[in-house]
Structure 1
């Protein structure tokens, strides 16, 4: 009998697929669980921060920049509200259409937008990048109209620097520029961001940390396209401190008016404390030009101007002092007892050294003259002889005692140190010995010798005040935005020139004669009501043939003209230094400029004193 076989069980194809599917699902959930563990546990804090960044933003609150104010309280640099367009790189739609739309709204080039985003978004994807500043109402309206199509784009109101007097006092105030990528990385820890402005020259630069203030911030929640929903927290910005200058604005404006059309520098300084009442460098510039929309062509015209309007000639210009330097040589000779005030020296038309002839400016010479006469009429041969006897090392020594050859330490950047040459300097500079003929030319302020107008102002202040060298300064005090004084700048004596009072009196009396004697080279500065003392200087640019008509000489080759003076001579309270580049003789234009300045200053002072007397009289009557 045949045995019946048991059927063998074989799973269906459907069940096989189900088992396989369940297995895959289990494995998938296993890896998903691992991934969730990694994201939520291991990377939890980091991802939470990233998630919050998708809806929470930190908006910078820009502080009001401190004001720059003249000594009488007039604002020289202030602030006005301005609109800027900014983009949060992470929120912005980096598409051709997005770039074209914002470029059209702001009337700028797509490449410029992409360049700005590229430079900042890599390191700071959630930090707003400034695309354009100083937007007009039309541009603001365009952005607002297209807001739904421009995620990550925002309009921010921020203070913009404003210079109410344009070019007036521009070299003192300075100008500002937008921070570049290199500076941003360097100063980022101080709170600077893309689109911020910082001082580039003048007080704007030297007082940048004082004027800037402290940045605030507002933490906000935004929607998907970057629109603000609500404020979560806020730290208000702290305004910058105000800088009050020693500058007297009415005097500054008057000097600029007097000096209009000339190239050079004028400084008016109080010799009793080093306060600079006026500093004029011509030609000048409008510091507001950096905020204006000027073409590249216009900008290059400014930069390549042959007369360099951005250069502050008062502290950067270096020139031979010419006959101004004779006061230093005179002081040195008196100190070294090489001469006495009354001793006469024979001065022919030329000084002969070997086979070299050094002529005097006056044809026929001066004959027998003393020191006072030599300074009054600016006799060259007299000082050739003094220089020959002193030697270059002593000349250099006394020049440095009067502050030449080094920076004065004025409180704005860019100051040059000038040059006081000696044997060692020439050996290092040219690998050549010093020649005696170079001492002769140096003794009348020519040759390698170079000074800045601010050094001359410091030198003549020391002569006027009895020998004290004060640090010249432009800052009078620092005030908080609420008027509380945080720092008062006091007079800072840098040293006393080791020349006796008697010898300085001899020089001062001679300088009074320069202006008030009928034969004085500075007689054009003589005034009726105020006694003025001063010295002329003519600095050669090139050696000019004898009796050559100045008008026949190309402008750039004409002599520079100096005049330095103090008044009232009995008790000086104002020193004026005038340099006219290629201006010819110091006794001409510079002396007349100085006279007009003194006239304005003392007339105005008399008027103010008269008003005070009248006010006191009225008060007493009450």
Structure 2
């Protein structure tokens, strides 16, 4: 045992003490943590209580959209053209998905889709809010609806939604005029015009459907549903009803459109009929056609590829987008220019089948002999207009053609109208940095060369000339039926030459319209003359390639000229004007026969309406005198207390004795030979 003095004094007696500074620091840290926790609790329980309450409600409330039905399209008489039909679509609620891979395979099998198609749809909407339902498949079949109902527990993310789908006329009837609808594209969403649209919205893609989409689409509503933890509906909280789109009454006459469709059957090209007094489009046809019903639900890749690769371009509305040489129909504008300049009145040529200009020989279709302005139009003598073009010069020709709307849009309320081309010396310098050569003017004089126009431009120009120089802006929808606050906005959306008046001397007007009348009596379209109808017009045979090129290509169908005709009735201040472009249709009178069918249908309908009007307005025969003397007419012609003896004996507004051989037109046409 060690001595006591050898044991260290500190063993069992030393105490380890924490410094006051460290102790204070620990206390402050603990206090701070407590304060932070209390602040967070205060924020959750008091400050943001309403926000978290809404989030909690959202976990049990599902907002289901109610899609607004699009407005219907009617003809000018209120007859239905485009309607809607009830359909059921399947939407996907991504928030409800648990095992995505397994569920996607199951969904694909039940909806007759491939897993890749489902994945592509989800990927397409990856940037959309996750709470937003996304369209998975439209217009599902009854067996697909039964699959969804039977698998509510396994697939709570599938939602059925009733909606209205477009129902278009069959066989592409008026397809280019009406257009079609489809799901909005990513490119559209980047356009400020579609700033208020969302992915999955159905919008107009062409025609009236696109031009008036904002009026036709309406405003969607929504329905709030209470759902359980499995996503099954257990109640309803309320709903905001959708506002249907506005119905639109088009200027189209369904009877005339039917006649035009029949007349263009089996042909490629376009037909457009207008009312020159107002600019209302009465009929519009483009061939070949497409089926807009194919776009209304789900467009198959096979059909899409077939129309994209079709060399005849079925999606092109050739009435307003085909830019081709107008051929001899342009000679009417040439005649006006020559007469207004005081040149054509005294011009006489001898046509021997062609003439030489600037070292090149230009052909004519016949040996016309002595030609003046009086027979130049009905015989369509090229030599006469070669000489006239040489004397006028390209800039004078361009000035008159531009005044009548060539080389610029008309302003029709349809998307993607083409402007065409009206060449001039300034135009060539601007576009090609080259000087215009005098020899180029010769071909322009007969509507060939660099000039290009649409059927709508030509029917507006020639009917405007026949109306004394009054050109109206063509339109498909009655402007007065568009909300006033949107009327100017729609007009600005389709810029063009609009309404205008081009001064034409009375003598010029009469000479040109008489020449157009002679075209259908003894001229180039005599074979399409309509008995009893004041039917005038101008043919056009526009080459698509030179004679030498045609011979090198074997002279097949595609080498034949385009057939043009612009017809009016009556010859002055016409009530209807029709332009026909028959691609590779050869001679212009071929297109004239098409226009004649539409003109005849129009006049016959007007006659029928006038006859019915006369019958309705004819006074009823007086009944046999019966009863007391007080009921009989007295010597002063008074009856039953009438003070005016002629009150019930007014003449009908139209004469029942009008000769049957004359066409009857509803509208007044001052100076019209056919009224």
Q: TM-score scaled by structure 1?
A: 0.88
Contact in 1 for aligned 2:165/2:297 (Cα 8 Å):
no
1:479 to partner: Cα distance: 5.6
* Equivalent-residue separation in structure 2 for 1:478 and 1:125 (angstroms): 43
CA contact (8 A) 1:86 1:156 kept: yes
Secondary structure of the corresponding residue to residue 147 of structure 1:
coil
Question: Is 1:178–2:189 an aligned residue pair?
Answer: no
1:609 aligns with 2:610: yes
The answer for the alignment partner of 2:245 in structure 1 is 240
Map of 2:431 onto structure 1: 429
347, 353, 356: which is aligned to 2:351?
A: 347
> Would the aligned equivalents of 1:426 and 1:433 in 2 still touch at CA under 8 Å?
yes
Give the corresponding residue for 1:142: 147
| Residue in structure 2 matched with residue 13 of structure 1 by the alignment | none
From 347, 366, 369, give the equivalent of 1:367: 369
- For the residue of structure 2 that corresponds to 1:257, the secondary structure is helix
Q: Secondary structure at the match of 1:475?
A: coil
Shift of 1:26: 11
- Cα 1:438–1:383 change in 2 (3 A) is same
1:541-582 deviation line (CA, Å, top 9, x unaligned): 111159x89995122221101011111225521111111001
Deviation at 1:185, TM superposition (A): 6.4
Correspondence for 1:542: 545
Contact 1:241/1:480, CA 8 A, preserved across alignment: no
The gaps in structure 1 that reach 5 residues or longer are 3-7, 10-24
| Matches of 1:220 and 1:409, distance apart in 2 | 48
Specify whether residues 191 and 55 from structure 1 end up closer, same or farther in structure 2 by C-alpha distance, changes over 3 A only.
farther
Q: Does 1:467 align with 2:469?
A: yes
- Secondary structure of the residue aligned to 1:261 is coil
Measured on the aligned residues, the alpha-carbon RMSD in Å equals 3.3
**Structure showing greater relative contact order (alpha-carbon pairs closer than 8 Å, 6 or more residues apart):** 1
CA distance in 2, matches of 1:442, 1:619: 62
Note the C-alpha offset of 1:255.
Answer: 1.4
Alpha-carbon deviations, 1:169-192, whole Å to 9, x = none?
111110111123454566798653
Following superposition, the deviation at residue 286 of structure 1 comes to 1.5
Contact between 1:218 and 1:233, CA under 8 Å: does it hold in 2? yes
Aligned residues of 2:358 and 2:439 also touching (Cα < 8 A): no
Shift of 1:288: 0.6
Give the corresponding residue for 1:409: 411
TM-aligned CA deviation for residue 498 of structure 1: 2.3
Structure 2 CA distance, aligned partners of 1:94 and 1:36? 34
Q: CA deviation at 1:94?
A: 4.2
| Aligned counterparts of 2:284 and 2:89: Cα–Cα separation in 1 | 34
Aligned counterpart for 1:124 among listed residues 111, 129, 134: 129
Partner of 1:79: 84
Name the CA shift for 1:286/1:618 in 2 (closer, same or farther; >3 Å): farther
Alignment of 1:495 onto 2:495: no
SS of the residue corresponding to residue 239 of structure 1 reads coil
Q: 2:413 & 2:560 partners in 1: Cα distance?
A: 32
* SS of the residue 2:547 aligns to: coil
1:241–1:478: 8 Å Cα contact kept in structure 2? Answer: no
- 1:313 and 1:550, CA in 2 relative to 1: closer, same or farther beyond 3 A? farther
The structure whose Rg is larger is 2
Q: C-alpha distance in 1, partners of 2:100/2:573? A: 74
> How far apart are 1:141 and its partner, in Å?
0.8
Q: Is 1:312 aligned to residue 314 of structure 2?
A: no
1:281-334 deviation per Cα after TM superposition (whole angstroms, max 9, x unaligned): 011111111135564223211221111111100000011011111111111111
Aligned to 1:277: 282
Q: How many residues align?
A: 597
Q: Aligned residue for 2:305?
A: 300
Distance change >3 Å, CA 337–CA 86, structure 1 → 2: same
What is the CA–CA distance in structure 2 between the aligned matches of 1:465 and 1:621, rounded to whole Å? Answer: 45
1:497-576 equivalences in 2 (<5 Å): 497-517=502-522, 520-545=523-548, 553-569=555-571, 571-576=573-578
Q: Which residue of 2 aligns with 1:378?
A: 380
